[in-house]
Chain A
Amino acid sequence: MQLFKLPLRILAVMGKEVVEVLRRPRALVSIVAGPVLILGLFGLGYVGQPPLRAELVIPPGIGLPTDPGSFASIAGDRISIAGVTPDPAEGRAVLRSHVADLLVIVPPDAKDRLAKGEQTVLDVEYDTVSPYRAFVARAAADAIVAGVNREIIQTAAKEAADRAAAAGQPVGIRPEVVAAPTRAEVVNLAPSEPDVVAFYGIMVLALIVQHTVITVSSLSMLHDRRRGMLDLFRISPVGSGEILAGKYAAFTLLGTVVALAVLAILVFAFGVPFLGGPGVVLGCLALLVVASIGIGTVVALLSDTDRQAIQVSLLILLASVFFSGLAIDLDQFSAPVRMIGQLLPVTQAGTLLQDLLLRGSATDAWRMAALATMAGGLFAVGWLILRRQMVRPA
């Protein structure tokens, strides 16, 4: 007879959790609309890396143009020429006022040195404390120097060709080829080439789902304990496994619905490709939700207060931002830290979803198994702790 009552109890807990969530409109708004809003802001607000603004110092009389537009081909797409000045001091003032990000100083003797066959040094200065912007500035400096070198070589080759032609000698290699003997034709073999919003939006979706589910599931368990419900559960025939099963069922349902809603916005509003099978994507999302419920449950069972649980949830969010590959690629971390990142459901689910949606299949199929193992393992841990707290009284 007790066997027939098992689903009754599980459904009771599940129904209670679902009704409780639906009865809190503000909580519902924060659960559903919150992630959508964040994602919307991310999608609409992200404009990408703006071109680096370079100020050029070109001394008079060295034969280089002073019109900023003349340097457009050297600068390329990633660099814009903020202005050209003959005075280094004026150029530095522009740099310090952050009108320009980069100052390129051509020395007054550049032409003479070139004529003598000596190397000319271009001074490149930037003013930033951001390691990222410093990195970009250095890369831009290299690109500018390469562009300038190319222009000089091309000019020199053209002059040589002109002289040869004037002397009736045959012209060998074209100046453009002399200046740039090779060029790259780049082809991406991936089935889709999403923009930044599409690529990172998927990871943001995974992060939002993980954090929301962790928070809701941990608060549910904490509220049960704070209200003294564990005392009622302890005296009632309901077992710890039934309680967890009911909670898991409720939050898996709610979490998956939220995840699908956010995914729909990604696909239909932001044009994220959906190349994978819907079943696999749904399975991946469900596993992410289940694993996140597990984290929330364990956090709640090991926390003494709501505040402590929320703090731990925020720490997990912070760790997820840094170590999931969302902000910084995981390859840039040492092996132990990478391992921590791999232990986060968002790392596995986010990478899987990126592959499933953007490639159509999972490059690393083991990630699905890892996610399933996390989900199962966390359920087992949560069940053991709850069972211990219910069966073994203080």
Chain B
Amino acid sequence: MMSTPPPAPISPSSAASPAPASVGDDAAEAVAELSAAGRRFGDVIALDDISLAVPPGSLVGIIGPSGAGKTTTVRLLTGGLRPTSGAVRVLGEDPTRLRADTRERIGFMPQNVSLYDDLTVTENLDFVGSLFGMFLPRRRRRIKAILAWLELEDARSRRAVHLSGGMRRRLQLGCALIHDPQLVFLDEPTGGIDPIVRHAIWTELRRLRDAGRTLIVTTQIVTEAEECDTVALITGGRLVAHATPEALRREAFGGELLEVETSGMVDAERLGRLPGIDDVRQVTPRRLVVVARDAASATPAVVSAVEATGVSVTSIQTTRPSFDEVFVRLVERAAGRLPGDAEVGGATSLAWTEPGAAGLPPAVAGSGAVEDVA
């Protein structure tokens, strides 16, 4: 699926060492940067005081619930909107006043499919390529490569109106990448695309990142956040988190989770006093969820502490909550719907507010590697 070699190598200047994106990279090096940027529509605050610096060669995901401000963020970055406060810079310029040369280095895939229905697949690509100043020989080469990559070769002569939803989305993606841009904004590129093609697209986006391109991708499919180097979580117009997916997972639950099953009742408070343990939740008399700063190093201590009370550990496993759960948790916390959350030792700790699934993600019990120490 979509295995054809991807778009041509980028220029030497932009191919420079794509270091993995990290939060807090020097803003001076950022290819896209929001500095305390805000956007109001009348009395409605669509974005509030967002600061985000995207280093070159990174794949940044912008996730958030519907209406959170993801598209507004992209529109600020692509010059479709002007911030009402703060500043936005893209490739060192004001995105509303980009020079033509700079524009040729930017690719954009809007949220809504923007294709000419009466043009064929090839003609749509050709048109966009021409707009970006590509002369015929280069256009032909790129169209061939893009069609192969997107598996649209058989549909090359089909009008866009006769394409399926997924094919239209793929063609749209091809239009955004036809001119081999260095900086790409993709507003929900995988919306309406089946999981197999979606996977292939993300594989290609990562490959583009590896080739030095910078990609800023919005998505409502939260699990796709794990495909990104860093994830900016926006909700209610505010940036509530920006970190690597793993760091977000830890932030959501205050650490790593250990699920412990015992042969008898264990004193949870005693376990909670162990070093490296931030919280312990007694789910059932014989089942505990332990929040540890480092699950691997905490496991022996937990086993020892349980067995010291004369109760044996029948199983202990680290659990890795899905990003859906991470997302819900972070969004609810940002919305103040988790009143029991508290800061413990600089890390956010879980405070289980009710028995059962409320504080415990549904997937906790069933996921992660199992380490049977019985």
Contact = CB atoms under 8 A, between A and B. Distances in A.
Which of B100, B113, B159 is most buried by chain A, counting CB atoms within 10 A of its CB?
Answer: B100
Contact of B119 (A19, A228, A392): A19
Interface string A362-394: 000000000000000000000000000001111
A237 B98 CA distance: 9
B49 interface: no
Contacts of B100: 2, 5, 237, 239
Interface in B71-123: 75, 78-82, 96-98, 100-101, 103-104, 106, 108, 110, 112-116, 118-119, 123
A231 B130 contact: no
B133 A2 contact: yes
A97 interface: no
Tell me whether chain A's interface is mostly helix, strand or loop, or mixed.
helix
A16 B115 CA distance: 11
B131 interface: yes
A9 B130 CA distance: 6
B127 interface: yes
Nearest to B78: A235
Given A16-B127, A19-B119, A23-B118, A236 B96 contact: no
A71 B264 CA distance: 128
A232 interface: yes
A143 interface: no
A236 B103 contact: yes
Nearest to B133: A5
A254 to B, nearest CB: 14
B118 A237 contact: no
B132 interface: yes
A136 interface: no
B133 A9 contact: yes
Given A11-B130, A12-B130, A393 B81 contact: yes
B118 A233 contact: no
Contacts of B96: 391-393
A24 interface: yes
Contacts of A8: 130, 133, 135
B137 to A, nearest CB: 12
Interface string A22-47: 01100000000000000000000000
B128 interface: yes
A269 B118 CA distance: 34
Contacts of B119: 16, 19-20, 23
A174 to B, nearest CB: 78
A15 B119 CA distance: 10
A237 B78 contact: no
A227 interface: yes
B82 A231 contact: no
A19 B108 contact: no
Interface string B58-81: 000000000000000001001111
A229 interface: yes
A96 interface: no
Contacts of A158: none
Contacts of A20: 116, 118-119
B268 to A, nearest CB: 54
A238 interface: yes
B78 A16 contact: no
Interface in B124-160: 126-128, 130-133, 135, 159
A232 B133 contact: no
Interface string A215-236: 0000000000001110111111
B114 A227 contact: yes
B108 to A, nearest CB: 4
A391 B95 CA distance: 10
Given A2-B133, A16-B127, A232-B110, A227 B115 contact: yes
Nearest to B98: A235
B122 to A, nearest CB: 12
Contacts of B103: 235-237
B101 A235 contact: no
A214 B333 CA distance: 55
Interface string B295-321: 000000000000000000000000000
A305 B135 CA distance: 35
Given A235-B108, A393-B81, A2 B131 contact: no
B118 A19 contact: yes
A394 B126 CA distance: 29
A235 B106 contact: yes
Contacts of A24: 118
Nearest to A22: B118
A2 B101 contact: yes
Which of A9, A12, A235, A237 is most buried by chain B, counting CB atoms within 10 A of its CB?
Answer: A235
Contact of B114 (A12, A228, A239, A393): A228
Contacts of A19: 118-119, 123
A234 B96 CA distance: 8
A393 B132 CA distance: 20
Contacts of B81: 393-394
Nearest to A11: B130
Contacts of B159: 23
Contacts of A9: 130-131, 133
A2 B103 CA distance: 12
B133 A393 contact: no
A231 B133 contact: no
Given A20-B116, A23-B159, A234 B133 contact: no
Interface in B148-196: 159, 175, 185
B108 A231 contact: yes
B39 to A, nearest CB: 10
A393 B101 contact: no
A238 B179 CA distance: 14
A391 to B, nearest CB: 7
Given A8-B133, A393-B81, A232 B101 contact: no
A2 B131 CA distance: 11
Interface of A: 1-2, 5, 8-9, 11-13, 15-16, 19-20, 23-24, 227-229, 231-239, 391-394
Given A15-B127, A231-B75, A236-B132, 10 more contacts: A2-B101, A9-B131, A13-B131, A16-B119, A20-B116, A20-B118, A23-B159, A228-B112, A232-B110, A235-B106
5 contacts: A1-B133, A20-B118, A23-B119, A227-B115, A235-B98
The 6 closest A-B pairs by CB, nearest first: A12-B130, A5-B133, A237-B100, A23-B118, A228-B114, A237-B103
